[in-house]
């Protein structure tokens, strides 16, 4: 999962990047383990030779948006299209370093970039519709150009109204075509309002309506004080809970960011627990057992026979997989079984 941090310069993108990386940041790209107490408990019980948590790749190398003129560079657009999700960091604190304007206005900044992303997609749609209008095959029902024209005509109106593609109800053709064009507003987005220390652990009143409006557009949003969270990230893991508690916080920025990313991408986590390797795997919610098997390895999916399934809650109750199996709590599931968040899987396959 590739997560690209975007926003104006001096919004705190790099600070939040370092905070979310929990001291692991080396350069502009960092793999961040997904915090999951369930995985930690499984590892503690199994004691495997190799531990592989689920990870999120954070990218802090995208160009900052400009405050005037052309907001996005072509390099930004090219790199943003490669991301699975965009994390928009918005300044809501006073900073003499922000040269693109003089007055704090988080609502303006968030909207400016959101609108610019929608307009970038609208331009592509309009240009493509102009070309399709001259295409003879676009008049033949069922042809690729005809289908594309129908999809783009449906996209155009909502985009003109400022609605991102990710908030639209698209059919299979629409989703496929949008994926092929890598539209920026079709990508999942998370908004992090970077607030001052005066608003640690709370949502300022002026942000409450916007956060609710963003949620209605399939865009999770939260507040964070990135400089303070960077200080937390530099502490030993054992010292972090007490420091967070003294600030009235229950979790570090890394957990908040990863949870929002999981929500926006519609992900769950399943586990494989073996003595050689115990691993956590991210998976799209609603995926079946064959899809999970393919996530582990394509050959396992091809030779799929059955999935042995024990949910984490059952595993925790009995203390180990062996105990859960002995108590008859393991279920054998077929290809169409829908994987649940927290399932422990062992795939039987033709080797």
Every domain of the chain and the residues it spans: 2-34+55-103+188-265, 114-185, 286-349
High-pLDDT (> 90) share of the chain, %: 71
Distance, CA of 187 to CA of 59 (rounded, Å): 15
Q: Among 342, 338, 283, 290, which residue's Cα sits nearest to residue 311?
A: 342
Q: How many CB atoms lie within 10 A of CB 82?
A: 11
CB-side exposure of 206: number of CA atoms within 13 Å?
Answer: 11
pLDDT of residue 142: 86
Distance, CA of 54 to CA of 168 (rounded, Å): 29
State mean pLDDT over 59-76. Answer: 83
User: Each residue of 266-302: pLDDT tens digit?
Assistant: 999 999 999 999 999 999 999 999 999 999 999 999 9
> CA dist 337 to 292, 305, 333, Å?
10, 12, 6
Least confident of 31-35, 237-241, 326-330: 237-241
At the topology level, CATH places domain 2-34+55-103+188-265 in: Rossmann fold (3.40.50)
User: Each residue of 117-155: pLDDT tens digit?
Assistant: 999 999 999 999 999 998 888 889 989 999 999 999 999
Q: How confident is the model at residue 69 (pLDDT cuts 50, 70, 90)?
A: low
Q: How far, in whole angstroms, is CA 72 from its chain's centroid?
A: 22
Q: How confident is the model at residue 10 (pLDDT cuts 50, 70, 90)?
A: confident
Whether 24 has a pLDDT exceeding 90, the answer reads no
CATH tag for 286-349 (out of 3.40.1440.10, 3.10.20.30, 2.40.40.20, 3.65.10.10): 3.10.20.30
Three-state SS across 173-212?
HHHHHHHHHCCHHHCCEEEEEEECHHHCCCCCHHHHHHHH
Tell me yes or no: is domain 114-185 CATH 1.10.150.300. Answer: yes
């Amino acid at each position: 999962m590739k997560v690209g941090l975007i926003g104006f310069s001096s919004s705190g993108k790099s600070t939040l990047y370092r905070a979310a990386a929990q001291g692991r940041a080396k350069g502009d790209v960092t793999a961040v383990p997904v915090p999951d107490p369930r995985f930690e408990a499984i590892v503690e019980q199994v004691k495997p030779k190799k531990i592989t948590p689920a990870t999120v790749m954070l990218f802090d190398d995208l160009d900052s948006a400009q405050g005037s003129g052309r907001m996005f560079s072509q390099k930004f657009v090219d790199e943003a299209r490669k991301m699975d999700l965009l994390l928009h960091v918005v300044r809501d604190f006073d900073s003499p370093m922000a040269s693109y304007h003089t007055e704090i206005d988080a609502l303006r900044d968030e909207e400016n970039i959101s609108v610019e992303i929608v307009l970038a997609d609208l331009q592509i749609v309009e240009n493509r519709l102009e070309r399709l209008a001259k295409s003879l095959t676009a008049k033949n029902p069922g042809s690729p150009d005809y289908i594309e024209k129908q999809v783009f005509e449906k996209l155009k109106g909502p985009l003109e109204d400022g609605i991102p593609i990710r908030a639209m109800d698209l059919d299979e053709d629409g989703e496929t075509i949008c994926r092929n064009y890598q539209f920026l507003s079709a990508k999942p987005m998370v908004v992090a309002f970077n607030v001052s220390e005066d608003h640690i652990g709370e949502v300022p009143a002026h942000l409450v309506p916007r956060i609710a409006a963003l949620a209605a557009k399939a865009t999770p949003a939260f507040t964070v004080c990135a400089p303070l969270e960077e200080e937390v990230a530099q502490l030993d893991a054992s010292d972090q809970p007490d420091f967070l508690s003294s600030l009235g916080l229950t979790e570090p920025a890394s957990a908040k960011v990863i949870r929002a990313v999981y929500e926006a991408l519609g992900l769950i986590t399943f586990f494989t627990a073996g003595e050689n390797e115990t691993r956590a795997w991210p998976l799209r919610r609603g995926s079946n057992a064959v899809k999970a098997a393919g996530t582990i390895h394509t050959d396992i999916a091809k030779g799929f026979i059955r999935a042995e399934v024990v949910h984490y809650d059952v595993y925790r109750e009995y203390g180990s997989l062996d105990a859960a199996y002995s108590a008859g709590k393991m279920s054998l599931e077929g290809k169409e079984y829908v994987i649940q968040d927290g399932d422990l899987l062992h795939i039987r396959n033709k080797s």
